[in-house]
Amino acid sequence: MLELIVLLIFMIAAGIVAVEIKDLLASVIALGAVGFAVAIGFIMLAAPDLAIVQIVIEVLSVVFFVAVILKTTHVDSTLGRPYKGGDIFTFVVFGMFALAFVYFGVRLLAGLAPMSRELGQVASHYLTQGLAETGAVNRVTSVVLDYRALDTLGEATVLFTAVIGVLAVLRLEGRKK
């Protein structure tokens, strides 16, 4: 488990760099570092399906960010501006929320006790009966496309909506009257 903790510390450090650095291109590259660390973590957590998807999607997401930044500007001009009273209030509220979030998150996850848990009924049914019921060796595929295929249909709808939204927002010429 030590390697996962080291990986998570690296992810948090790269995330702080991505949030605080002045150059937006460097910020996006630090975000890519976090994404690749997530992919390595998926391999450590015995999830090769997720690792493949995460690597490719991370590359594409960095490409999208860079395509936007190259068209506009890559200097964050809002850093270094003096803070006003309202900003300090925002920081205080965020600090209080962070403390409460960590406290209740620890209390909630302590009841979960993930690393020593026996597999639940549903998961062991998928593992033992999945091949006989669906014929797929890869149990993740059998869950995605057979047991919970309606969820996948909803996902396809969300992706379709996102593409339509992008096409509609970036249309330059208005409707002909």
Partner 1 sequence: MIILVASLILFLVGLYAIITKRNMIKVAVGFSLMEYSVNFLFAIVGFRPGALPPILQAVEAGKVYSDPLPQALVLTAIVIGLGVTAFMLSLILRLYNRIGSFDLEEIQRLKG
Partner 2 sequence: MKGMTPIVKVVARIVGGFIFIYGCYIVLYGHLSPGGGFAGGAIIAAGLILARLAFGTTASQERSASISSSIFESTGGLLFLLIALLGLFVGGYFFINLFPSFGTPGRLVSAGSIPFSNIAIGIKVAAAILSIFVVLASTKYIFKE
Residues 30-59 that bind partner 2 (CB under 8 A): 48-49, 51-53, 56-57, 59
Question: Which of partner 2, partner 1, none does residue 63 bind to, with CB < 5 to 8 Å depending on kind?
Answer: partner 2
H or E element in which residue 166 lies:
helix 149-169
Q: Give CA–CA dist 73/145, Å, rounded.
A: 42
Q: Give CA–CA dist 61/69, Å, rounded.
A: 12
Alpha carbon separation from 86 to 11, 17, 91, 146 (Å, rounded) = 30, 25, 9, 52
- For residue 66, what are its two tokens? 């860079």
> Quick check: 33 binds partner 1 (CB under 8 A)?
no
Question: Which of partner 2, partner 1, none does residue 28 bind to, with CB < 5 to 8 Å depending on kind?
Answer: partner 1
Which of 171/176 has CB closer to partner 1? 171
Question: Would you say 61 and 35 are in contact if contact means Cβ atoms under 8 Å apart?
Answer: yes
Binding mask 146-165 for partner 1 (x = CB under 8 A): --x--xx--x--xx--xx-x
Instruction: Give me the residues that bind partner 2 (CB under 8 A), please.
Output: 48-49, 51-53, 56-57, 59-60, 63-64, 67-68, 71-73, 131-138, 140-142, 144-146, 149-150, 152-153, 156, 159-160, 162-163, 166-167, 170, 172
